[in-house]
């Protein structure tokens, strides 16, 4: 065994996006591609204190969503870590840890940070995507200062430091030695389960299942399966078989583990069958997203955040109330209305969970959410799919009401924010960039202009000043705000790996109860037409509609 240095060449495309570095598996499998990124990360972490050896004596957490290349990547990363001064790695058994579990382990074990191997909701398998991201000691995604520093380092990297020790056994729960570094293979579920126990009334939930409450949780052959099985079926006594597609597969069994009504179609079918269970849910590749459903009823993620906020005190972990709430800018303003009614601070951040970290750390907010099927709280620093499922189960247990009743009652009280997101996928990058550039140029001419019944009241390219550290993030999405509360938002995805994806977010507010049960796409068709008129999406892309509308 020996630590050695190897010369390496720069890859110029290693700037992390919305949530880490994501590329096609083939890109990651190029010699030194993963190694370069990890070496750059370790260099930046080591340089984070005056000694230049900040990782010495420290513990890192490591695990991924089990997708293709996860196991190989784990071995590569362990050898780099051992050669760069890391004292100990806590590795999920089999190389597996969901994103929320990494966050929980970092926090509970006071680790220096953690590395998550996941491309989250992107498809997996040899032809799919792979990804890597770093989470800091608060358990949350690295901030932009750190990700930019890592990117800068990848651009000048010339050497890798690694060990040529043999591979370690990642499947057996034990402690092994790799050079001077200890590798402790841990149960991926235990720490996470302990956190859930502190938040929810497990006896209440056990009682529900004893009385015959039924659910179907679709783990989409991704990493959420083992967590959902252990907690829902194991701890809480949900009927065996309530969690389906529960074994993580390297290619997710061909499913696209992005829990929305389009990709989780099988769940939609089951939830609209005559014998549908009381409650349904799905999670994404790394189990940080959730979609929740009642019988024949899908909850919009933005509404989910609003309802959680309205009812939080029913849950033991939040019984004393919330400090505040935050949502990403494109997320509907449904939660804003609840926050106002409850007198809670409400923050609007750019897209991506990393922007919630400071607000959570500073005790300014307790709940956070994004329109992309992500909700979470201060219990960790990531969004959390199974937490959301337990939250919704608890709401049903505490109120005795169905999902549909809870949501419809909410609309009657607060009004309904009709909401949809239209994704135009696989657009040529130059076409997408030109569309955004032209749109930005057109913004100043829009305020005051009428479109049908409504007029534009404000336009901007969203910029965010972090209220905690004062950092500024610009160009976070073009917004058209209307005088009746409607919004049209355009932004380009930062998680895709093929061409560009344009996301168009549409929202309108309806406070009249007799108009709160209309089909969403129909209700928002007028706003979609405004977006088309302003941006010319169809003409520019040659597409006659979005690839996905949820």
| By CB under 5 A, residue 258 contacts Co ion | no
Is 120 in the active site?
yes
Q: What backbone torsions phi and psi does residue 327 show, to the nearest 5 degrees?
A: -135, 155
Query: Residue 529 CB, nearest distance to ligand VG1 (Å)?
Result: 23
Considering the complex, state which of residue 134 and residue 202 has its C-beta at the smaller distance from ligand VG1.
134
- The span from the CA of 478 to the CA of 90, in Å, is 42
**Nearest CB to Co ion, comparing residues 233 and 284:** 284
Stated as kind and residue range, the H or E segment containing 340 is helix 334-342
The size of the interface with ligand VG1 (CB under 6 A), counted in residues, is: 18
Interaction of residue 503 with ligand VG1, rule CB under 6 A: yes
Q: Which does 131 bind (CB under 5 to 8 A by kind): Co ion, ligand VG1, none?
A: none
Provide the H-helix boundaries in 9-154. Answer: 25-28, 33-46, 70-83, 99-108, 144-154
Q: Which does 493 bind (CB under 5 to 8 A by kind): ligand VG1, Co ion, none?
A: ligand VG1
What is the nearest approach in angstroms of Co ion to the Cβ of residue 111? 21
Please work out, in degrees rounded to the nearest 5, the angle formed at the alpha carbon of residue 419 by the alpha carbons of 477 and 335: 85
Using CB under 5 A, pick the residue from 120, 135, 304, 495 that binds Co ion.
Answer: 120
- Return the closest-CA partner of residue 536 out of 451, 433, 435: 435
Interface pick for ligand VG1 out of 98, 245, 372, 497 (rule CB under 6 A):
372
303 near Co ion, rule: CB under 5 A: no
Alpha carbon distance 550, 145 (integer Å): 33
Token digits for 220? 């989409």
18 binds ligand VG1 (CB under 6 A): yes
For residue 337, which of 355, 353, 325 has the smallest C-alpha distance?
Answer: 325
Nearest-approach distance from CB 115 to ligand VG1, in angstroms: 14
Query: Stretches 190-198, 273-281, 455-463, 490-498: which one binds ligand VG1 (CB under 6 A)?
Result: 490-498
Instruction: Determine if 288 is a binding residue for Co ion (CB under 5 A).
Output: yes
Give least dist CB 17 to Co ion, A.
13
C-alpha dihedral (534, 535, 539, 542), degrees to nearest 10? -150
**Pairing relationship of beta strands 297-298 and 290-294 according to DSSP bridges:** antiparallel
CA distance 512 to 515: 6
Q: DSSP label at 540?
A: H
Q: How far is the CB of 476 from ligand VG1 (least distance, A)?
A: 10
Q: Binding to ligand VG1 by residue 352, rule CB under 6 A?
A: yes
Q: Strand, coil or helix: what is 209?
A: helix
Per rule CB under 6 A, is residue 353 in the interface with ligand VG1?
A: yes
The contact set with Co ion (CB under 5 A) reads 120, 284, 286, 288-289
List the catalytic residues. 120
Residues at the contact surface with ligand VG1, assessed by CB under 6 A: 18-19, 120-121, 284, 288-289, 328, 351-353, 370, 372, 374, 493-495, 503
């Amino acid at each position: 065994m020996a630590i050695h240095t190897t010369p390496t060449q720069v890859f110029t495309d290693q700037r992390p996006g919305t949530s880490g570095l994501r590329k096609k598996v083939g890109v990651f499998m190029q010699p030194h591609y993963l190694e370069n990124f990890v070496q750059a990360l370790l260099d930046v972490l080591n340089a984070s204190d005056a000694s230049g050896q900040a990782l010495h004596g420290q513990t890192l957490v490591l695990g991924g969503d089990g997708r293709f290349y996860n196991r190989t990547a784990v071995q590569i990363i362990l050898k780099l870590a051992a050669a760069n001064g890391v004292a100990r790695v806590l590795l999920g058994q089999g190389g597996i840890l969901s994103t929320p579990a990494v966050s929980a382990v970092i926090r509970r074990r006071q680790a220096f940070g953690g590395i998550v191997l996941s491309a989250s909701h992107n498809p997996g398998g040899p032809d799919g995507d792979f990804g890597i991201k770093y989470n800091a000691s608060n358990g949350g995604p690295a901030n932009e200062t750190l990700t930019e520093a890592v990117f800068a380092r990848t651009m000048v990297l010339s050497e890798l430091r690694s060990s040529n020790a043999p591979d370690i056994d990642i499947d057996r729960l034990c402690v092994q030695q790799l050079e001077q570094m200890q590798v402790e293979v841990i149960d991926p579920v235990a720490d996470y389960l302990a956190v859930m126990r502190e938040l929810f009334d497990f006896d209440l939930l056990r009682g529900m299942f004893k009385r015959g409450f039924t659910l179907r949780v679709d783990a989409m052959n991704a990493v959420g399966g083992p967590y959902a099985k252990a907690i829902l079926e194991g701890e809480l006594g949900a009927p065996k078989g309530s969690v389906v597609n529960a074994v993580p597969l390297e290619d997710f069994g061909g499913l696209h583990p992005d829990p929305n009504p389009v990709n989780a179609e099988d769940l939609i079918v089951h939830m609209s069958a005559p014998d549908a269970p009381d409650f349904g849910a799905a999670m994404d590749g790394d189990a940080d997203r959730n979609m929740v459903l009642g019988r024949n009823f899908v909850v919009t993620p933005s509404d989910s955040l609003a309802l959680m906020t309205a009812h939080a005190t029913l849950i033991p972990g939040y019984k004393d109330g919330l400090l505040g709430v935050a949502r990403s800018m494109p997320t509907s303003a449904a939660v804003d209305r609840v926050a106002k009614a409850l007198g809670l601070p409400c923050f609007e951040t750019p897209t991506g969970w990393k922007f919630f970290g400071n607000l959570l750390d500073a005790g300014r907010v307790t709940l956070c959410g994004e329109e992309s099927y992500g909700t979470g709280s201060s219990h960790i620093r990531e969004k959390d799919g199974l937490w959301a499922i337990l939250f919704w189960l608890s709401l049903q247990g505490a109120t005795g009401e169905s999902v549909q009743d809870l949501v419809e009652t909410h609309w009657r009280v607060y009004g309904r924010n009709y909401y949809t997101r239209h994704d135009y996928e696989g657009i040529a990058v130059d076409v997408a960039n030109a569309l955004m550039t032209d749109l930005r140029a057109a913004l100043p001419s829009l305020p005051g202009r009428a479109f049908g019944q409504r007029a534009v009241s404000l336009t901007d390219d969203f910029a965010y000043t972090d209220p905690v550290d004062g950092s500024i993030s610009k160009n976070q999405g073009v917004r058209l705000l209307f005088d009746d509360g409607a919004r049209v938002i355009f932004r380009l995805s930062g998680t895709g790996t093929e061409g560009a994806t344009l996301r168009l977010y549409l929202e309108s507010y309806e406070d009249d109860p007799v108009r709160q049960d209309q089909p969403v796409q129909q209700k928002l068709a007028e706003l979609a037409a405004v977006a088309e008129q302003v941006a010319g999406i169809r003409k520019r892309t040659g597409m006659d509609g979005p690839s996905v509308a949820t």
